[in-house]
Amino acid sequence: MGMSAAVLFKSGESIEINKLLYSLIDLCNKEGLYHSQDLKKVDEDEKLKYCEFCVSDIPLKDSYDRQLCFGIADEPYPYKLVNFDWDPSEDYFKTVVSSDFDDNEDLLFKFLFAFLNEFPVAKVWIEEDWFYTIEDLKAIKASYDNNWCYINPKDT
């Protein structure tokens, strides 16, 4: 389907990228996920500002089709602030943005469920215009449907 997902934090409340990377590595280890990181970008002070972080539930070298890659950005970062009609007074920072997750919806759910358990103030934005909180993901987990990300949680 060619969709992506973004993990949002209110602007100014996102996790510093180095701390986030350590948390993601720990999260993957706890969840039994394989991971790698690459494509690092640093600022003029050599501070990490962006990297790519990939996860899979099988060894990454075994299948490129069974991995999800996420762009991880440190706030501030160009073009990562968004504003939504449901909360026009707040800007949100797209801290973690997935690549296309088609055919890996279950892997996306596993990663996002673990992520939001670690950072419950975050929200997940699916390109369609709907959002998931940790409470939404807990409800989905109780009666999991692999099409979860194509259904507005408000409609369930």
Confidence (pTM): 0.93
Q: What pLDDT is recorded for position 84?
A: 86
Q: Residue 39 has what pLDDT? A: 82
CA atoms within 13 A on the CB side of 57: 9
What is the reported pLDDT for 127? 80
Range of the domain at 10: 5-155
**Residue 141: predicted pLDDT:** 95
Q: Which residues of the chain have pLDDT under 50?
A: 1
d(CA 77, CA 2): 24
Question: Looking at residue 60, what is its pLDDT?
Answer: 87
Find, among 127, 120, 128, the residue nearest to 136 by Cα.
120
pLDDT at 104: 94
114: nearest Cα among 38, 44, 25: 25
Q: Give the total number of structural domains in the chain.
A: 1
Q: How far apart are CA 85 and CA 101, in angstroms?
A: 25
